[in-house]
Chain A
Amino acid sequence: MSAILPPAVGGSAAPTDPAIETGGGTGLWKDAFLRLRRNPQAIAGAVIIGLFLLVALLAPILAPYGGNELPGRTEITPTTIPGPGEIGGYPLGLDRFGGDLLSKLIWGAQASLLIGVVSTALGLAGGMLLGVLAGGFGGWVDNVIMRFVDILLSVPNLLLAVSIAAILGQSPYAIMIAIGVSQIPIFARLLRSSMLSQRGSDYILAAQTLGLSRGTITMSHLLPNSMGPVIVQATLTLATAVIDAAALSFLGLGGGLPQAAEWGRMLTYAQAELSIAPQLAFLPGACIAITALGFTLLGESLREALDPKTRQK
């Protein structure tokens, strides 16, 4: 599901002309930021993400009820679910379990943020470890690691996540770990190819002639200069994590309370009530789509801004 960025192609976005070896906030990154500010797609993405973050962080203040609370438990029957505005106090109506839909949508932002951040961090950390080992050492280490990554890549991403979730059992953390781990091969592949493209460059050769150790070169020169595509991918992964979480939930994995305020979960359960309460499906569905769109737009724009090929124009 999630490889928005095909690994083989992504490597091309590596900066080929690292004027500023120390990374830092000038030059490449500053330039990228300036370019982002002029890009309407990037602005749209940033606005969406800003709103999303605001709602997620202020959920305790904004939401009338707690995410797992069931204030309207006695108002529902198997065949009726009060819709928007039908009962006072619940502006968007109730859900199947008697929860307040508005509150759940608000708390859902927080859940999505958590899933996105945790799983992306996991994928990033694992991928960087493998990528650095492979790209930094080369040789047989590279070979073994990349074979392993190939094996993982040959398993369709969602199936990989499902398999991991199946081993870990039903818990919200299982989902985050599953999504995160399934992203590791992509990050590893990306970082390695980005590092490889840097290895022959003059500044690395210079560092080598200066007698710097392999570790120093890898960690303080190669790695910082290879991070561009990885950061782009991380932004995109924030989007796919939210979507993948919904897919896993649809396939019956997830854990926790059934009434948990999580968009994917809400969307999944709502399908049985589509005929009597379509808003239960459409609103969480829209939230997922909009949030994912925000992260994707920003990630895409960032990639473009960092890409030296489009930079020159």
Chain B
Amino acid sequence: MSTRDTSVRRFHLTRKRAALTAGISIGALLMTGCVQSQREEGAGAEGSGEAVNSTFVFAASSDPKSLDPAFASDGESFRVSRQIFEGLVGVEKGTADPAPLLAESWETSEDGLATTFQLKEGVKFHDGTDFNAEAVCFNFDRWYNWTGLQQAETVSYYYNSLFRGFKDQPDEAVYESCEANGDNEVTVNLAKPFAGFVPALSLPAFAMQSPTALEEFKADEIGGSEESPKLSEYALGNPVGTGPFKFESWDVGQQLELSSFEDYWGEKGQITETIFRIIDDPQARRQALEAGTIDGYDLVAPADVQSLKDGGYNVVARDPFTILYLGFNHKVEQLADPLVREAIAHAIDKEALVAQTLPEGTEVATQFIPDVVDGYNEDVTTYDFDPERAKELLAEAGYPDGFEVQFNYPTNVSRPYMPTPEQVFTNLQAQLADVGITVTPSPAAWSPDYLDQVQGTEDHGLHLLGWTGDYNDTDNFIGVFFGQQKPEFGFDNPELFAALDEARGMTDREEQTKAYEEINEQIAEFIPAIPLAHPAPSLAFNERVTSYPASPVNDEVFSEIELSK
């Protein structure tokens, strides 16, 4: 804004001149013809529904990090991009399983390397260009060709973690090439088998974007310099997809507006204007709902669920697709002892924990994946709540009087799998004290302190963490946790690492499911950490919202919302 010259000059202004300039600028403001209302008459008020107010206001907890989903990895970015964009593959309603979306069907070759998609016809991007096979290949090639900063995990997390490599590291790359066979058929060739390929395409990061707009607004131009990566013009305000809503405006920190896309191929729904209002404080979101400024918000605090229901609001719980666990740092002497880990498993009353601290709808966990995910083992080894047994085991391990251990937990944060970390911590702390284990509390602000400490250093003992699944993929849970040696757990179990690595590469789904069932048992016996619960995140809505397409993987498109007034 101000270069060195102007800022220095400004200090030399005499008071009179300063006043004069101020006067002139205000005068100029008043005179310029542009100071007139830019209102579109009746915008938002009229729409398809006669009696329904077709403007829908949803409170988001933060701004999207980027409007370009390929360069995003956070929930708030995806919440917005799901309205604007669609992928080749969608999600079966209410589940985490893949379903046709822009691709009506697909077929994978015997060797698992080539997948041919039949595309939906007559689909247009918001900029009027056609969605076709060429556009699909453009997107795949765009991801594959990224270089430098574009490859950073902070920038393109999902492509990195699922497709592993880029054009400049072909040895690691999972993707190989894309061929358009006419307008409506496209074949994607992989360099190595990847059983999760089709489900992975349901991730919003792999949504189809308009090639014309990507080029026109220089979507790949991120960052002028290394230490200050900058969002592209595309990611700041020109996203173009095929979804039911198109981008209107973004007032950073305030709100983001979308409007209904007239040429949308599917059902447009009742809502013609969607506003995402940014309210970061959870309590403030609830109050905004009560005051009527918003129609709904996500991640309702467990304490609020009942009182909101009593107040006539609609509270919708998602099916849990989450896991909350108590992590062990195996580098800590006591925790390296399997007997101690087993003792702790017996010391924890998961039912009581769920009843006292977690929201309604939460399921007690026996393993690290929710039951809807392939490889869930019904008969996995479990450890019943039995404080006496826990004390015996501790004595056997050489700690008849218990021991002292650090317990890390995050503060001031609410995650889908852990709405109130402090409460979970106090509850567990008291349970552990009952069997003689004294914990030293070690709280830290969630990001970056806590994550840094727990995931990046050895300076932790017990800790709370969890995960929300992205799609129905077992590796997306246990592979992330236990696939390699990590500072978070600190153990080295080559057998487990190898088993996970092998399972990931299997092409046969049934064989893979079986392998994961075995791995889950293996984990249950090893006790690298204790799975606590699968908390169910809830949303709350104004009474006029009669139906909301709640999805365990947050695949919630607002055109499916039903309003009564």
Contacts and interface: CB of A to CB of B under 8 A. Distances in A.
Bound pair (A, B): yes
Interface of A: 70, 73-74, 76-81, 96-98, 169-170, 251-259, 269, 271-276
B302 A259 contact: no
Closest 7 CB pairs of A and B: A252-B412, A78-B302, A258-B422, A79-B306, A97-B426, A170-B443, A275-B307
Given A78-B359, A253-B445, 19 more contacts: A74-B356, A78-B302, A78-B358, A79-B303, A79-B306, A96-B423, A255-B443, A257-B429, A258-B411, A258-B422, A258-B426, A258-B443, A269-B422, A272-B283, A272-B301, A272-B303, A272-B420, A273-B303, A275-B304
A162 to B, nearest CB: 11
Contacts of A273: 303
A306 B464 CA distance: 55
B307 A73 contact: no
Interface in B122-159: none
Contacts, number: 84
A79 B302 contact: yes
Contacts of B409: 258
B315 to A, nearest CB: 11
A259 B305 contact: no
A91 to B, nearest CB: 22
Contacts of B441: 255-258
B422 A73 contact: no
Contacts of A80: 306
Contacts of A74: 352, 356
Interface centre among A96, A256, A257, A271 (most CB of B within 10 A): A257
Interface residues of B, number: 34
A73 B411 CA distance: 20
Interface of B: 282-283, 286, 301-307, 352, 355-360, 409, 411-412, 420, 422-423, 425-427, 429-430, 441-445, 449
Nearest to B286: A275
B175 to A, nearest CB: 41
Contacts of B426: 70, 97-98, 257-259
A253 B445 CA distance: 7
B78 to A, nearest CB: 25
Nearest to B426: A97
Nearest to B442: A170
25 contacts: A70-B426, A74-B352, A74-B356, A76-B356, A78-B357, A78-B359, A78-B420, A79-B305, A79-B306, A96-B423, A97-B426, A170-B442, A170-B444, A252-B411, A252-B412, A252-B445, A255-B443, A256-B441, A258-B411, A258-B422, A269-B422, A271-B283, A272-B301, A272-B304, A275-B303
Nearest to A259: B426
B468 to A, nearest CB: 19
A169 B444 contact: yes
A237 to B, nearest CB: 26
B534 to A, nearest CB: 15
Q: Report whether over half of chain B's contact residues are helix, strand or loop; otherwise say mixed.
A: helix
A254 B352 contact: no
Nearest to A73: B430
Nearest to A69: B430
Contacts of B411: 170, 252, 254, 258
Given A74-B352, A254-B411, A79 B307 contact: yes
Contacts of B442: 170
A274 B284 CA distance: 12
Contacts of B360: 78-79
A170 B420 CA distance: 18
A252 to B, nearest CB: 3
Contacts of B307: 79, 275-276
Given A76-B356, A78-B303, A254 B443 contact: yes
Nearest to B309: A79
Contacts of B355: 77
Contacts of B302: 78-79
A256 B444 CA distance: 10
A111 to B, nearest CB: 15
A258 B423 CA distance: 8
Given A170-B444, A254-B443, A274 B357 contact: no
A269 B357 CA distance: 14
B537 to A, nearest CB: 13
Nearest to B311: A275
Contacts of A259: 426
Contacts of A70: 426, 430
A52 to B, nearest CB: 27
A7 B443 CA distance: 36
A151 to B, nearest CB: 19
Interface centre among B286, B352, B422 (most CB of A within 10 A): B422
Contacts of A276: 303, 306-307
Contact of B423 (A97, A170, A253, A275): A97
Contacts of A272: 282-283, 301, 303-304, 420
B276 to A, nearest CB: 23
B427 A73 contact: yes
A199 to B, nearest CB: 33
Interface centre among B303, B359, B411, B427 (most CB of A within 10 A): B303
B59 to A, nearest CB: 16
B443 A256 contact: yes
